[in-house]
Amino acid sequence: VPIVLLALAVLALTGCASSASERPARTRSWRATTIMAGTAWLDGVVPGVYARRALGTANAALARDDPDGAARASRLRAAIERGDRAEVARLLER
Amino acid sequence: MKKALEITLGIVTSVGGFLEVGSLVTSAQAGSRFRFSLLWAVVLGTGCLIFLVEMSGRLAAVGKHTITDAMRERFGFNFFVVPLTGVALVTLLVLAAEIGGVCLALQLATGIAFQWWALPVGFAVWLLLWLATFGVIENGVSLLGLVTVAFLVAAVRMHPSITEVARGLLPTLPSHDGARYWFLAVSILGASISPYLFYFYSSGAVEDGWDESHLTTNRLVATLGMTFGGVLAAAVLVVAALVFDPRGIRVESYDQMGLMLTDALGFPGFVLFVLSLAIACFGAALEISLALAYMVAQGFGWNWGENVAPARAARFSVTYTVIIVVATLVVLTGVDPLKLTNLSMALTAATLPLAAVPFLFLMNDAAYVRGHGNGWLGNGVVIAVIALAFVLAIISIPLEIVGG
């Protein structure tokens, strides 16, 4: 029992990569996350430390399939780090 | 008056202690991806849990046996060691996921990577178990867990369509992503019907010295406490559906979940989410550590009890110490906490038959429950849970690989 459970655990933890058919939806999801996190910071409903972290995660998630989206997440993160509200608003097209 | 207070406290602590990393994550993922269509899984899981928890309490109150005690005595050690090993290993993963959940909450609040929090959090869990009594753990942390009511407040404030919510209570076939849909259904059931919950509940009943006069208390606490707890899990799903689905966000990371309550509650919503995640997971980590130590100590016939000084139940104390160290090490490896949570919930579903089958025998054995054995309804539900548990056991791992 322990060996079978361990083997299944390793298989499951390493075998959950998103399939090709999942990629567009995943990309849309992380782009939307980028906008939501940036907007939330701009509206003052989340702290900068959280917004930066979320945008860093979005950047990593988008890096392979959507370089433009990843770059925007990265620029938003940098702007939030500087406290540059105007730049964040510009990047969010608000 | 004293009884009413006891019942109220029992219900309140059951509600406060209901949400944990598994129910939070699986409900949030389900809502973000399938709107309300997996609400039925929350209802089904909560319904099964109510019956099993009530039976665990009844066994403890009437027969003065915990589930583990009775299993070892009734079936013999050689049989008992199989469910012990299976359930203990999976529950250990769940514990790692809970400690990871607390660390993630601290990461959301501070920006410091969750691995750095693993040791302090593991130490805090251990220290509280070492110093506190059962009452402090059961009541104190669960009362703090009432912060999770924030999800219900947010759900109400967001005015979900009652018709759509009601439709979600009926099982439907998915229109897209079938494997993911069923994987999440299995995970929600695994998160709801976690064996550690009834092992902890029956051990707690013995620690609190329950007798036959507590049968009504037991019935009310199990039914109302778990029902309100299930409502909270449903509220998480509803909020996730209303916040994430319209934006096309599919929850894949705790970093996304941090935004769940901000639409409805603004900045306090972010704070309440972080507190909910931290307290719910910390409370669950305490309960799971104890439940595992109870299982091992009762299984091997050692002295046990959270109300006993550690020196007088040395092997029991060493057991939870080792368990916490191992779970903390798992978090320290940096494994993705969300994947760990999903995996541990699916594996919990896979090991459910090991935990559910003994109920059918124990709750009909007059040596344990005397005149308070199961009626036709109780037995019908246990048989249904066992059938469900076998289906889950067969499909959970393939679904984890295909849809996880």
Distance of residue A13 Cα from the nearest chain B Cα, in angstroms:
7
Q: Which of A35, A45, A80 best tests the B interface by mutation, with the highest count of B CBs <10 A?
A: A45
Q: Of B304, B270, B284, give the one whose Cα is nearest residue B21.
A: B284
Look over chain B and give the mean of its residue pLDDT values, rounded to a whole number.
89
Higher pLDDT, B4 or B386: B386
Higher pLDDT, A88 or B145: A88
Measured between beta carbons, the chain B residues lying within 8 angstroms of A69 are none
Please write the tens of the pLDDT for every residue from A45-60: 999 999 999 999 999 9
Q: What pLDDT sits at residue A17?
A: 46
Confidence tier at B403 by pLDDT (50, 70, 90): low
- Average of per-residue pLDDT across B40-54: 93
Q: Tell me, what amino acid is at B324?
A: I
Beta strands in B5-134 (DSSP E): none
Half-sphere exposure of B336 (CA within 13 A, CB side): 18
Confidence tier at B258 by pLDDT (50, 70, 90): very high
- Average of per-residue pLDDT across B206-225: 90
C-beta separation of B18 from B226 below 8 A: yes
C-beta separation of B41 from B188 below 8 A: yes
**Chain Cα centroid distance, residue B284:** 7
Cβ within 8 Å of B, A 20-39:
25-26, 28-29, 32-33, 35-37
- Identify the closest residue of chain A to B268 by CA–CA distance: A45
Q: What pLDDT sits at residue A6?
A: 56
Give chain B's count of helices (H) and strands (E). 21, 0
Contact of A40 with chain B, judged by CB distance below 8 Å, is answered with yes
Residue A39, pLDDT above cutoff 90: yes
Q: What pLDDT sits at residue B336?
A: 85
**Dist CA B275 CA B97 (whole Å):** 17
**Dist CA B50 CA B60 (whole Å):** 16
Residue A10, pLDDT above cutoff 60: no
What are B321's two structure tokens?
Answer: 């110490």
Q: Which of A36, A45, A49 sits opposite B247 (nearest CB)?
A: A36
Q: Which of A46, A52, A53 sits opposite B270 (nearest CB)?
A: A46
Distance (Å) of CA B64 to CA B22, B185, B211, B214, B280: 30, 35, 7, 12, 29
Residue B174 burial (10 A CB sphere; 0-12, 13-18, 19+): middle
Measured between beta carbons, the chain A residues lying within 8 angstroms of B248 are 25, 28-29, 32
User: Do B247 and A32 count as a contact with CB atoms less than 8 A apart?
Assistant: yes
User: Do A12 and B258 count as a contact with CB atoms less than 8 A apart?
Assistant: no
Please write the tens of the pLDDT for every residue from B125-178: 999 999 988 888 878 877 888 899 999 999 999 999 999 999 999 998 888 888
Residue B193, pLDDT above cutoff 90: no
User: Do B262 and A37 count as a contact with CB atoms less than 8 A apart?
Assistant: no
User: Do A36 and B93 count as a contact with CB atoms less than 8 A apart?
Assistant: no
Residue A82 burial (10 A CB sphere; 0-12, 13-18, 19+): exposed
Q: Of A93, A45, A90, A54, give the one whose Cα is nearest residue A74.
A: A54
Place of tokens 């209802």: B43
Q: Could you tell me the pTM of the whole model? A: 0.91
Distance (Å) of CA B290 to CA A48, B186, B212, B230, B383: 37, 25, 25, 23, 28
Neighbours of B375 (CB within 10 A): 9
Range of lowest pLDDT (A67-81, B57-71, B199-213, B342-356): B342-356
C-beta separation of B293 from B196 below 8 A: no
Distance (Å) of CA B58 to CA B4, B242, B292: 19, 40, 21
Contact of A73 with chain B, judged by CB distance below 8 Å, is answered with no
Residue A16, pLDDT above cutoff 60: no
User: Do B270 and A16 count as a contact with CB atoms less than 8 A apart?
Assistant: no
User: Do A50 and B85 count as a contact with CB atoms less than 8 A apart?
Assistant: no
Residue B192, pLDDT above cutoff 60: yes
- Average of per-residue pLDDT across B24-29: 94
What are B385's two structure tokens?
Answer: 């849970």
Measured between beta carbons, the chain A residues lying within 8 angstroms of B342 are 16
C-beta separation of B204 from B9 below 8 A: no
Q: What pLDDT sits at residue A7?
A: 56
Distance of residue A59 Cα from the nearest chain B Cα, in angstroms:
12
Measured between beta carbons, the chain A residues lying within 8 angstroms of B104 are none
Please write the tens of the pLDDT for every residue from B274-315: 999 999 999 999 989 998 998 899 888 888 887 888 888 899
User: Do A26 and B269 count as a contact with CB atoms less than 8 A apart?
Assistant: no
Confidence tier at B320 by pLDDT (50, 70, 90): very high
Q: What pLDDT sits at residue B175?
A: 82
ipTM: 0.85
**Dist CA B327 CA A89 (whole Å):** 43
Measured between beta carbons, the chain A residues lying within 8 angstroms of B108 are 50, 53
